[in-house]
Structure 1
Amino acid sequence: MNVLSTLRRLTGMNLARGTVEQAVQRRMRATGETVRKAYADALDEAELRELVELVVVPESWLFRDPQAFAAAVGFVRQRLADGAKLVRILSVPCAGGEEPYSMAMALCDSGVSPQSFVIDAIDISAACIARAEAGVFGRNAFRGQDLSFRDRYFTWAGDDELYRINDALRARIRFGQGSILEGALGTARQYDVIFCRNLLIYFDEPTTAAAIARLSEHLTGEGMMLAGYAEVPSFVRHGFSPMPHRQAFALRKDIMRSGAPARPALAQGQSAAAGAAAPKRQAANHARLTGAPPAAAGIGSRPPHASRHPASAATPPLVAAGDESLLAHARKLADAGQPLEADSACRELLAQQPESAEAYFILGLLAETAGKPADAEAQLKRCLYLKPDHYEALCHLALLQEQGGNSSAAATLKARAARAFQRQQPQ
């Protein structure tokens, strides 16, 4: 059995070979198997589940990115004011329950009756679901300045700073194991609000499109989608439009484009005003280059731009289909899973065009997927020095900072990314 391709198929994630190999070696030690091929040939459903648990990285905390919960609360309150009797909410993936519990607490704090909403929460990891159902959280789940919600909704579990969420709140959430790509997606046919944050960044472009199509089917016509900030361009390419909530990264289905091709975005090097009707490559580069966004927040990590000095910056030309320029060649090599060759092509380009921001961006992605965060950070910063509003570089660098524990720098970069994305939308 090919373990890498099997795990990619099961999870939908474009897992790095090194990530899978580490998981395999760990399980071989646990099972006592010493021969790699023998382990792979003997893989059964139970052992595959163990591998899935090792390659899924559920890093979250309560009230992570609080602007999203504030936007969702306002939306739910309006829905109820308009006559809805019950608002249905979906959280996928739910990790250890941090996101759905945060939403439930935010609704109750705003005066919404627990009987007026129900939350479905699903995750591919059985261990995550078990932890979420237990509703017990340690110190790492409680971050930020205001922890008053802990006094309102948790009781001390009596051991090592553990706290248990109250039963009434837990009763409003239905947890279940499942995948965004197949099987039942929650218990309702459609939801008023869907949280799907920082999942698509692990997917390649076809899987991203399939996941968004499923989410769209399960979202009501006027519903709200909450995405991760690095994922907004993917949703925009596939029939969604951003909603005007600052740093919430909320979207709605674009009814005007229903059944029509996705609206083209800005071309590299163009401003929002000049590029409103031009084809946009930059939002697509992220998913195309990495296959599953970089290594910053996920597999080891993750992840349009107007130049601050458009007249003087050396902006590489747009690469037309079939163009064999070094930049196009580097992208093709990265897409084909040839990182060393892609790296070489980028460096050859930089020898000729030392101000090619896109070449530095590609080098940053390659470093991320290779598990070299310091190198990735250096390359992304070079990209942003040349193009301060490079949306995807801002997203990747923010996730690297967040993973490295620098929440203040990550927040600043997120805000810059949100402003850059808004500026680049057609007016």
Structure 2
Amino acid sequence: MTVQGMLKDATGLNLPRSAVERAIRARMEALGQSDRKQYAHDLMQGASPDELAQLVELVVVPESWLFRDPQAFALATEYVKGRLARGTRLVRILSLPCAGGEEPYSMAMALCDAGVPLEAFMIDAVDISADCIARAEAGIFGRNAFRSQDLAFRDRYFTPVAGSEGEHAIASSLRQRVRFRQGNVLAGGAAPSSSYDIIFCRNLLIYFDRPTAAAAAARLSALLADDGMLMAGYAEVPVFTQNGFVALPYQHAFALRKAAGQPAAPGWANLPGFAAPRRAPVRHRPPGPGTAHPGDAAACTARAVRPYPPAHRASPAAPDRRATPAAGRASAPGRAPGQEPPAPSSDALLAAARQLADQGKLKEAAAACKALLAQKPETAEAWFILGLLAEAAQDTEQAEQQLRRCLYLHPDHYEALCHLALLAEQGGNRSAAATLKARAARAYERQHASR
């Protein structure tokens, strides 16, 4: 057994050797040790019972912030309101992993802003990191946790910590609705063996290999009510759909349900605007550049939760048909007969490609991407969308080729790295998958460290 293997057994994480070595060096420096072999020997022999836990703290990734990806909280809030309206007395929610408490506290604030009584919900929050749990229970957050443009929620639910530099403490009434504990999704004691109405498990399975991800998905399925809803990270939707879940048709929320055992009147079917698309959309597409992400829970819940539009009818927000290569050339008012319409801009073509992909019109979306690339072949996002379209068509070779072109132009494209990692795992190349996941984690950290 190696140190890397011990950490894999303890966390389930498929850690790159470089991350493990950095953690070992940090611990050896803290302990004043210089002999690498002796450190590993002592660790494996259990000479210091707490040492493995100290290593775990150095390799987990607890990065998060309040109201991160707010559309998920908006959809979950609508689900809770519907459940309470049908007579449920207490809605139970699980956040795993919960990092420093940002996710469960955001959910609590969203529910309060929607008028849900405190006694009508309870949130369990679990993380493998003891340090994260301690921070979460304290309920004190620094500037890094407040990244949204609209911080009105901070005025409603937080008070400044005297003598600190920008720290705020969350209201005690909300702290009482969240129960924190240390645990592991792969362990039976990570959460009670009972059903949750909603489970948040975002940006965890991307760090697991295929067997570990399957085990985690099975555990979450057992904890989720038959008509419950699971909120995932967008890059994890394919992993969940391969392991007993079905994506729900809501943009940017990345919600799923259990594939088996559907009740006659599932709770998610009553959400505003629910409509199953005729064709499977290109799920797990991340929000495009410029997508608004308001941090205020009131703004999130007041905003309509947008379902994927059915493929057989046009969406009110659909781009002008002239923006798509497949459109006709009918003359527009004010233009002389026979005059050619102006060429669509690159932004219009990219917007059209995203819209068509969401509608399940894969050929038209690909045509829009190719038209854009004919104008600007260096557009990394167009290659990324082509990669997703090929992945949806189960053309693995083409998907890998397009995603690698995206990475050639944009080496830190987090979404492309995640999808390539998934494709590598599906192809049995675990080493390549681990390398790509490590690159994705570093890219993610760099992107958010600069915010």
How high is the TM-score relative to the length of structure 2? Answer: 0.63
Q: Distance in 1 between matches of 2:87 and 2:415?
A: 52
Change (3 A) 1:22 1:197: same
The answer to whether structure 1 residue 238 and structure 2 residue 237 are counterparts is no
User: What residue is the counterpart of 1:349 in the other structure?
Assistant: none
Residue pair 2:182, 2:190 contacting (<8 A) in 1 also: no
Q: Distance in 1 between matches of 2:415 and 2:138?
A: 42
Q: Distance in 2 between matches of 1:274 and 1:164?
A: 46
User: What residue is the counterpart of 1:30 in the other structure?
Assistant: 30
2:226 alignment partner, SS class: strand
Residue pair 2:93, 2:196 contacting (<8 A) in 1 also: yes
136, 139, 142: which is aligned to 1:138?
Answer: 142
2:246 alignment partner, SS class: strand
The answer to whether structure 1 residue 66 and structure 2 residue 70 are counterparts is yes
Residue pair 1:377, 1:397 contacting (<8 A) in 2 also: no
Q: Distance in 2 between matches of 1:109 and 1:89?
A: 17
Residue pair 1:361, 1:379 contacting (<8 A) in 2 also: no
The answer to whether structure 1 residue 75 and structure 2 residue 79 are counterparts is yes
Change (3 A) 1:310 1:148: closer
330, 351, 361: which is aligned to 2:403?
Answer: 361
| Percent identity between the two aligned chains | 52
The answer to whether structure 1 residue 56 and structure 2 residue 56 are counterparts is no
Alignment of 1:316-395 (within 5 A): 358-359=400-401, 361=403, 375-377=411-413
Paired AA for residue 358 in structure 1: E
Residue pair 1:360, 1:380 contacting (<8 A) in 2 also: no
1:405 alignment partner, SS class: helix
1:255 alignment partner, SS class: coil
Q: Deviations over 1:111-149 (max 9, x none)?
A: 000000000000000000000000000001011121111
Change (3 A) 1:364 1:22: farther
User: What residue is the counterpart of 1:269 in the other structure?
Assistant: none
Instruction: Give 5+ residue unaligned stretches, structure 1.
Output: 259-271, 284-303, 320-326, 329-355, 368-372, 385-391, 411-427
Paired AA for residue 73 in structure 1: T
Residue pair 1:364, 1:376 contacting (<8 A) in 2 also: no
The answer to whether structure 1 residue 8 and structure 2 residue 8 are counterparts is yes
Q: Distance in 2 between matches of 1:65 and 1:224?
A: 16
Change (3 A) 1:49 1:399: closer
1:308 alignment partner, SS class: helix
The answer to whether structure 1 residue 193 and structure 2 residue 198 are counterparts is yes
Q: How many residues align?
A: 320
Residue pair 1:123, 1:129 contacting (<8 A) in 2 also: yes
Q: Deviations over 1:317-358 (max 9, x none)?
A: x99xxxxxxx98xxxxxxxxxxxxxxxxxxxxxxxxxxx552
Q: CA deviation at 1:171?
A: 0.4
Residue pair 2:231, 2:256 contacting (<8 A) in 1 also: yes
User: What residue is the counterpart of 2:209 in the other structure?
Assistant: 204
130, 134, 141: which is aligned to 1:126?
Answer: 130
User: What residue is the counterpart of 1:226 in the other structure?
Assistant: 231
Change (3 A) 1:34 1:160: same
Q: Distance in 2 between matches of 1:375 and 1:124?
A: 31
Residue pair 2:227, 2:262 contacting (<8 A) in 1 also: no
119, 130, 149: which is aligned to 1:115?
Answer: 119
Change (3 A) 1:120 1:257: closer
Residue pair 2:247, 2:254 contacting (<8 A) in 1 also: yes
Residue pair 1:13, 1:203 contacting (<8 A) in 2 also: yes
Q: Distance in 2 between matches of 1:109 and 1:274?
A: 35
How high is the TM-score relative to the length of structure 1? Answer: 0.66
Q: Distance in 1 between matches of 2:108 and 2:252?
A: 20
User: What residue is the counterpart of 1:405 in the other structure?
Assistant: 447
Q: Distance in 2 between matches of 1:239 and 1:79?
A: 23
Q: Distance in 1 between matches of 2:172 and 2:38?
A: 47
Residue pair 2:414, 2:440 contacting (<8 A) in 1 also: no
Q: CA deviation at 1:157?
A: 0.7
Paired AA for residue 99 in structure 2: A
Paired AA for residue 50 in structure 1: Q
Q: Distance in 2 between matches of 1:135 and 1:75?
A: 26
Residue pair 1:12, 1:203 contacting (<8 A) in 2 also: yes
What is the RMSD computed on CA atoms of the aligned residues?
4.0
Instruction: Give 5+ residue unaligned stretches, structure 2.
Output: 264-276, 285-356, 372-385, 421-432
Q: CA deviation at 1:78?
A: 0.5
2:24 alignment partner, SS class: helix
Residue pair 1:229, 1:249 contacting (<8 A) in 2 also: yes
